[in-house]
Amino acid sequence: MEDIKAIILDRARERFDRFGYKKTTMDEISRDCRISKKTLYEHFRDKENLFNCLFIRECRTARDVIFARMGEGGDPLERLVRLLRTGIAFFNEDNFLTRLLRDDYSLFSTFFTSEHQRLIDGELIAVIAGIIEEGKRQGTIRDVDAEVVAYAGLKLFQSFSYMRTARFAPGKEEQGYCTEVLVDFVVNALARK
C-alpha cells in the first residue's frame, strides 16, 4: 500500500516540478501513475492533500540531506553554525523544494499556515533546542529558553533562505555575506562570555 503512495508522490513531484501546482490536475497525476482516479483518491482526498504529503516528504528529505552534509560532532554552538550555513547553502541550490518555494509564493504562504508546516517546524525546533540544551550543559551556550530560541532561530533561518522577502545587494548575497551576518548574530546571541 505504501509503495503505490510513494509512486503517486514521485509522479506528482515530477508533474508539479514541470507544470506547477495550479496547472497540475489529479487526472494528469492518475494518468502519469497509470492508476484510476478512484485509486488515487483512496490515498489522497484531493490535490491539496496530495501536495501537502509530498511537501512534508520533501521537507523531511531536505532536513536529512542538510544534517548529513553538516556532519557529526563538535561543539554545540559550532554545530548550530554548520546547520545554518549548510541549510542556507541547500536552499540556494536548484532542487525541487527550492524551485517550488521560489516559483509559487501563494503556495508556500498557504502551506506555512497549515498544520503540516507546524509539524515540520516542531520537528526542527526540537532538534535545534536539543543542540542548545547540550551547549548549555557543556557551558558553551548561555542560559536561554532553548525552545523559544530554537523557534526564533528557525524563523531567522527561514527569512534568510526560502522565505526571504527582501533582496540585498547581489554582490553581498553571492559572497555569502548575509549568511555570515546571520551566523555572527546567532553566535553572539548564544555564546557564553
Query: What integer pLDDT is reported at residue 102 of this predicted model?
Result: 65
Query: What integer pLDDT is reported at residue 157 of this predicted model?
Result: 87
Query: What integer pLDDT is reported at residue 192 of this predicted model?
Result: 86
What are the contacts of 146-155 at 24+ separation with CB within 8 A?
A: 149/189, 149/190, 150/124, 150/125, 150/126, 151/121, 151/125, 153/80, 153/128, 153/186, 154/121, 154/124, 154/125, 154/128
- Mark the ranges of the chain whose per-residue pLDDT is less than 50: none
Query: What integer pLDDT is reported at residue 56 of this predicted model?
Result: 87
Answer yes or no: are the C-beta atoms of 84 and 186 closer than 8 Å: yes
Question: What are the structural domains of the chain?
Answer: 1-44 (1.10.10.60), 51-190 (1.10.357)
Query: What integer pLDDT is reported at residue 113 of this predicted model?
Result: 56
Query: What integer pLDDT is reported at residue 172 of this predicted model?
Result: 66
